[in-house]
Amino acid sequence: MKRGAIILCGGKSSRMGSSKALLPFGSEGMLQRVVRLVGEVVPRESTVVVASKEQELPSLSKEIQVTHDRQSDRGPLEGIASGLTALAKCADSCFVTSCDVPLLVPALVERMFQLLGDHDVVVPVDDEFQHPLAGVYRSSVLPQVEKLLSANQLRASLLLEQCRTRFVPTDELRSVDPQLQSLRNINQHEDYLALLKETTDSIGTQAPDMQ
């Protein structure tokens, strides 16, 4: 299996108040950190960052591909389509994540690839809540993604319904990520500040002035 990774950062970050991709986290920006952590499992040359048009990004390794949403405000499916298209020649399956999971555990990424088996998609599920941005998608699902986008059906759950999807209970992932930190995305300024407070000793950073 040729592995790839798609890191989505094209959202408006309206609840955060500033670009999440640029937020400092230790000596790195949030996006830079996620790229580095994913890179422990997926080759850099098979990793693509999907941004919105004209979005400012931090400095990234030259091996990392950068592509853009073809249309704005179309949600994760638009980014997944752009990412799968960019990686079509170098990846059979791709781990998909967002840029706002700074505590991503590489061992969870590895486990998700292992759990794909003969399915089209594998995603964690906690009770009834699915985590489509912590899953692995075969490149072969691209036509189904494009069909949904063409019909203006933008919910990722629709893709999961149409594919051979394996839903993995999150408790089965605690052996590699005991606190399920990989599923902890940071949406609001308060979430960011709380996370910095929790991790001050390990990352040594201060929150920027976002007023």
> What whole-number percentage of the chain has pLDDT above 70?
91
> What pLDDT score does 208 carry?
44
Q: What is the 3-state secondary structure (H, E, C) of the chain?
A: CCEEEEEECCCCCCCCCCCHHHCEECCEEHHHHHHHHHCCCCCHHHEEEEECCCCCCCCCCCCCEEEECCCCCCHHHHHHHHHHHHCCCCCCEEEEEECCCCCCCHHHHHHHHHHCCCCCEEEEEECCEECCCEEEEEHHHHHHHHHHHHCCCCCHHHHHHHCCEEEEEHHHHCCCCCCCHHHCCCCCHHHHHHHHHHHHHHHCCCCCCCC
Q: Which domains does the chain possess?
A: 3-199 (3.90.550.10)
Q: Report, as an integer, the average pLDDT of 12-19.
A: 59
Q: Give residue-wise pLDDT tens across range 82-140.
A: 999 999 999 999 999 999 999 999 999 999 999 999 999 999 999 879 999 999 999 99
pTM, to two decimals? 0.92
In this prediction, residue 16 has a pLDDT band, given cuts at 50, 70 and 90, of low
